[in-house]
Structure 1
Amino acid sequence: MTTRTPPSPEALRDLMVDRIRADGWALTPAVEQAMRTIPRHAFVTGHPLENAYGEAAVITKRAGTGAALSCASEPLIVAMMLDQLDVQPGHNILEVGAGTGYNAALLATLTGDGRNVTTVDIDPEVTAGARKNLDATGFEAVTVITRDGTLGDVEHGPYDRLILTVGTWDIPVAWWEQLRPGARIVVPLRWRGQTRSIAFAYTDGRLESDSMQLCGFVPLVGQAGEHTHEATDGVTLTWDTDQNINPSAIGTTLHRGEQASIWSTVTVDGEEPFDGVWLRLTVTDPATCRIRATHEAIDAGICNPAIPALTAALVEDTSIAYLALRRAADDGLWELGATGHGPAATALAERIVNQVKAWDTTRTATPHITVQRRADAHAETGTASGTIAKTHATMTLQYPQGGHVGDR
């Protein structure tokens, strides 16, 4: 009988980075080397080595409800965001969301001096854990602060790079004020119910996007830019504060059972993402929000969104429509369409299908996003397509004619 020797942390780490490279990330030699060097298992203590170097995020703290409060992000997402951030030696860096301290260790390696890295988190238990892990791995020079992340850290600024490892709905005033001219920020930004990791260049008081990737993150504590309420048993809507949505009215509409479905003839296979339709809707239709349905609600015939946990929807007055899927004639493919409920069911469904067809012509295209502080923005906000009002900032989103802005 032979005893199999378990793989070493170094071997597992190399396999992790090899997977990331195969997926097209850790593109720069500096990011690749940092990820091959920093012992991730030392930051997720109490978890098996296979989990530390696996493909999934590792939850390190949960609420009493079971919701994740802090985690070590999926390694591929870590590499993706570091590629987007483009840290150069000597950069002064602010990280919001301390997590386990692993990302701060990577940032310290990339900039060349831990004294150039400050990480802040509102949760003292999280910062204590990050501090302990950083000290144990030789990164004592990294500054760890317990503070509301929306305040940043003016004492150690201004910053050449700002990165968030938590989801944010807004760009608070303090972050703007702590950036150097020519700075770069990477934020998992939420709008219209979905989240994208966006890299922005800070130029002339504006943030201009040049990279955008789908992602999901634990939300930043304390921001109140979104509403999430149950419309009826098993059906939940999420929308932004600049939208006027009455979930109970939509719940009543869904229970009436009247609906209209329109199909696009656009198909996807079982593994092909179509989140770009939702992204396009956020640019073109101010009624865009998010619907979530339990399997019980679907089985009861209340609604049937394309992806039960997160699907784009349009809501106006007492009407709703959402992206839908059905089996295509060609086995193995799915046809995209939309299902509407209420007086404007057909009109709303047609608006979704029009964007499905537009997406089909350039499936990898992403919009260019300009963000300004609200005090500096003069465009009408909250109602115009492609303009979204936040509390402290205004976003303007646009697909250039024939362009593929933001593609990697």
Structure 2
Amino acid sequence: MTTLRPMVTHTPDPARIDALREEMIAELRKLGAIRTEAVEKAIRAVGRHLFMPEETPEKAYAAEHALITKRDENGVSLSSVSAARIQAFMLEQADIRPGTRVLEIGSGGYNAALIAELVGPGGEVTTIDIDPDVIDRAKKLLPVAGYGRVHALVADGAEGEPTRAPYDRIVVTVEAADLAPAWADQLAPGGRIVVPLRLRGLTWSVAFQRENDDLVARDFEVCGFVPMRGAGARDEHLVVLHDGEGEEVGLRLDEGQVDAGQMRKALVGPGAEAWSGVTLGLGLPYDDLELWLVSALPEFALLAATRAARDRGVVASWSRRGVATLLDRGACSFAYLTMRPTTPERKVFEFGAVGHGPKAARVAEQLVTQVRAWDRDHRGHKPELRAFPVGTGDRRLPAGTVLESSAFRFTISWPVGR
């Protein structure tokens, strides 16, 4: 049985709303999520609290707060109003202009209203969702906020909405493990698709620009979203390695299978550490390292663990999303990325790897070898990411790593040298 979050409306003070909105905009500017005056103007114009009536104004205007609006019988999120930071940077990626036609896949209401502000009276916005409850909610909230002109329709996102195509922009607000052929078919020449794309378990918001017959990534950033449902759904595999009270550890796999019993045995056996000599300042991002490991490791997974599991010494790294992990299925071994402080002040950290299984030392060293390769050749650089229909031959693909999916082939090409 699914559960809808009840809408309990708060009665906010207009002056307080204005102050909270300005605080949120300032924070989004500081975070780099707002980069243009157009997106800032849209965020200032649309009342976010009107699309989150269940929340207090303080929560509605918190830059990193997302509202789960529907869960399944297991408590898994099915629909949400995304965090304002993510919505802002995806709109910046989309580069939506006045007068354009936009399709939003995955509805919540607020983001569609922001898009309506960006396209203006000469543009058109269509928002679709596979869930009638989600569309009913959007249809109730959009007119109240003054955006009744947005078309809100029940449809499977993988099919797009062909009756209103072509679209200058397609903005996907659910996690996808592939591009749907319908999106490419419904995209106008020179158009852009912005999609939270899952590649080997890690999700990036990618802005694909149509250039002739190619889809070329113009920008991508790490993000997290509710997974797509319907025809475009593709589940990950979770292999539970440890399940104590609050001390959960598991391997998330986007491809292939592992011997769960052997991997659990590997975790409780002796481990091996390897350290790279590569350091990072406290709080600095390393998205490009993660993408390098996605492209460089022959067998890739994510080790997801709770903080309690780390604190109890079950693992030496924690993340519910997961940290990059090298698998060696044949040897029933794996190694995951970790860090250690290099100074008492804990301001600088060194990357390393912890290996488990019969070949723990070997796989740990293999992982840190790739960390060193990233630091030597690719640190601070983003690769070129392209998408080609699945029938595209190898000779047409650029040099680099090829990640295969059901409908598209994705290539990751790193610049040579620094």
Shift of 1:10: 1.9
Mapped pair 1:375 → 2:384 = no
Alignment pair present for 1:193 and 2:201: yes
| 2:100 counterpart letter in structure 1 | H
TM-score, normalised via structure 1 length:
0.89
The answer to whether the 8 A contact 1:89-1:110 is kept is: yes
1:259 aligns with 2:271: yes
Deviation for aligned residue 1:385: 6.8
- Identity, in percent, stands at 38
**What runs of 5+ residues in structure 2 fail to find an aligned partner?**
1-12
**Which residue is equivalent to 1:246?**
259
Distance in 1 (CA, whole Å) between partners of 2:275 and 2:205 is 31
Q: Which amino acid aligns with 2:38?
A: A
Q: Is 1:365 matched with 2:375? A: no
Q: Does 1:120 align with 2:133?
A: no
Cα gap change, 1:64 to 1:8, in 2 (>3 Å): same
TM-score w.r.t. length of structure 2: 0.87
The answer as to whether partners of 2:307 and 2:319 remain within 8 angstroms in 1 is: no
Determine helix, strand or coil for the equivalent of 1:202: strand
Residues 245, 176 of structure 1: CA spacing in aligned structure 2 closer, same or farther, 3 A cutoff? farther
Compare 356-365 and 340-349 and name the one that shifted more: 356-365
Q: Give 1:352 deviation, angstroms.
A: 1.7
Gaps of 5+ in 1: 404-408
Correspondence for 1:227:
237
Pair 1:37 & 2:45 matched: yes
Q: Identify the match of residue 391 of structure 1 among 401, 406, 411.
A: 406
How many residues of Structure 1 are paired with residues of Structure 2 in the alignment? 394
Verify: 1:156 aligned to 2:174, yes or no.
no
User: Is 1:143 aligned with 2:143?
Assistant: no
**TM-superposed deviation, 1:253:** 2.0
Q: How many angstroms apart in 2 are the aligned matches of 1:379 and 1:343? A: 39
The range that moved more, 65-74 or 393-402, is 65-74
Note if 1:97 corresponds to 2:111.
no
User: For residues 284 and 58 of structure 1, what CA distance do their matches in structure 2 show?
Assistant: 36
Identify if the C-alpha distance between structure 1 residues 203 and 278 changes in structure 2 by more than 3 Å, giving closer, same or farther.
Answer: same
1:60 to 49, 64, 69: 69
Relative to structure 1, is the Cα distance of residues 114 and 138 closer, same or farther in structure 2, using a 3 angstrom cutoff?
A: farther
Deviation at 1:98, TM superposition (A): 0.4
Using the TM superposition, name which of 338-347 and 318-327 deviates more.
Answer: 338-347
State how far apart, in whole Å, the 2-side matches of 1:376 and 1:350 are: 36
The AA in structure 1 aligned to 2:374 is W
Measure, in 2, the Cα distance between the counterparts of 1:149 and 1:296: 37
Distance 1:30 1:340, change over 3 A: same
Whether 2:335 is the aligned partner of 1:325: answer no
Please tell me whether residue 343 in structure 1 is matched to residue 358 in structure 2.
yes
Residues 336-393 of structure 1 deviation map (CA, whole Å, 9 limit, x = unaligned): 1001122332232122212322333554322211111102343699xx9721111111
Q: C-alpha distance in 2, partners of 1:52/1:352?
A: 41
Cα gap change, 1:267/1:226 in structure 2, threshold over 3 Å: closer, same or farther? same
Q: Which amino acid in 2 is paired with 1:367?
A: P
1:309 Cα deviation after fit: 4.8
Question: How much is the aligned-residue C-alpha RMSD, in angstroms?
Answer: 2.4
| CA separation of 1:42 and 1:294: change in aligned 2, threshold 3 A | closer
Deviations 1:270-320 (A, max 9, x none): 422334322110111231211112456546654333546511101121110
Q: 1:147 to 1:308 in 2, by over 3 A?
A: closer
